[in-house]
Structure 1
Amino acid sequence: MIDLPSDIKRLAPAGVFLVFRLRYSFPAKEFNFLPQAWINYYTENVLSIYDPLILWARKNNGVIRWSEVDEPDPRGVISEAQRFGLKHGAVASMICPITNGRSFVMTARSDRSYTDDELSEIQSSLAAMHDKYQAIGKMTPNEAAALQLFGSGVKAKIASHHLGISESAVKQRLASARRKLGAPTTAQAFELATELALFPEGR
């Protein structure tokens, strides 16, 4: 499971929704840590196409309180969210000048509105997570192949025959994958790469 930065956990006690590298209608990856009851209600009522927070995030760079978002809300998404404990929130959004992919985060709390300093923290945390995810995405196909074989239970010696390289080269690729993923063990690296959908389909 992806680890949320400690500052985001502290600033979003009611929940977090993260989207990394959104292009067109599809993100490279999203993580929804909002209350399950809200997720169910949101999904069943197809609120994503009416959500003013998502509309704002798609169009803007920066950070803003939910109460300050000036986008149409015909289905009352923000007021409905309050019924599920999401009474105050913020949304931060940024676009990568290289990939043109957009990342954004929505944070929520039930006790009070966000201060200006907290908004700055949320924006900084999004930038750090975006940069980390960009680095994770730089795992090479060779490293991914070695890691995927490991995840399938193939030992390094057997993997070397599959890949046509030495056993030490397999171990070097696994070490490089761990480093790029920021994982202390190969098993954790495989778990994270799977969660982030970094392996090619059909392998």
Structure 2
Amino acid sequence: MTADIEREVARLGELSNAGFAIACHIRFNRPDFLFQTYRRDWIDRYSDEGLVMHDPIVRWGFANEGWIRWAELDDPPGGVLERARAYDMKHGIALGHLWGGSRSVGGFARSDRDFTDAEAGAVANAMDALHRITLQAGRISPAVHAELRAMSIGYVHGASV
């Protein structure tokens, strides 16, 4: 399981040069798994200011399936995506995924250019793979849980990160 997760996370990292955040299997407003590779200063600001409540990526991902470019999302002046640009997240895509009765949401960023349609499709495929791999979260052993924590992957359903 961890090798499969590592492979998909590495693939997403290659495609998203300014980082990504994925909340897998969101239940009761918190995910079972949280993958974050955005800059630490952005993650801290996002968390400290409670920006998840205003994030158009999250809003779109809960209401839709598939992907959309950030430029197409409704982000008011001074909004989350505008603020993210100061942290080298200038272009991106949002993904919403529902499979197996579970929803996952992700945001993926580039600093240099927009994602091509082919790259967006590859991101969607990798996120689908992560969603399916981690759907078995309730059945992971303590050893796998420890490996995931060592990989800095937050397994938050039923355990602290």
Instruction: Determine the structure 2 residue equivalent to 1:192.
Output: 147
1:20-63 deviations in Å (ceiling 9; x for gaps): 10134221221221101111222222211111111001110001
Residue-pair matches, total? 151
Q: What is the rounded CA distance, in whole Å, between the counterparts of 1:19 and 1:55 in structure 2?
A: 13
Between 1:83-92 and 1:26-35, the stretch displaced more is: 26-35
Which stretches in structure 1 are left out of the alignment for 5+ residues?
148-185
Greater relative CO (CA pairs within 8 A, separation 6+): 2
Which of the residues 41, 51, 57 maps onto 1:53?
Answer: 57
What's the RMSD between the two structures over aligned residues? Answer: 2.4
Q: Which amino acid aligns with 1:116?
A: D
Name which one, 1 or 2, has greater alpha-carbon Rg: 1
Which runs of 5 or more structure 2 residues have no equivalent in the other structure? none
1:137 CA drift (Å): 3.6
Residue 84 of structure 1: SS of its match in structure 2? coil
Matches within 5 A, 1:20-39: 20-39=24-43
> TM-score when scaled to structure 1?
0.66
1:111 equivalent in structure 2 = 112
Q: 1:8 to 1:193 in 2, by over 3 A?
A: closer
| SS of equivalent to 1:27 | strand
Residues of 1 paired with 2:28 and 2:70: CA distance? 23
AA matched with 1:196: Y
Deviations 1:43-86 (A, max 9, x none): 222211111111001110001111112x3536411111001110
Partners of 1:17 and 1:105 within 8 A in 2: yes
Per the alignment, in what secondary structure is the counterpart of residue 31 of structure 2? coil
Contact kept in structure 2, 1:50 and 1:75, CA below 8 Å:
no
2:134 is matched by which residue type in structure 1? Answer: Y
User: TM-score, normalized by length of structure 2?
Assistant: 0.81
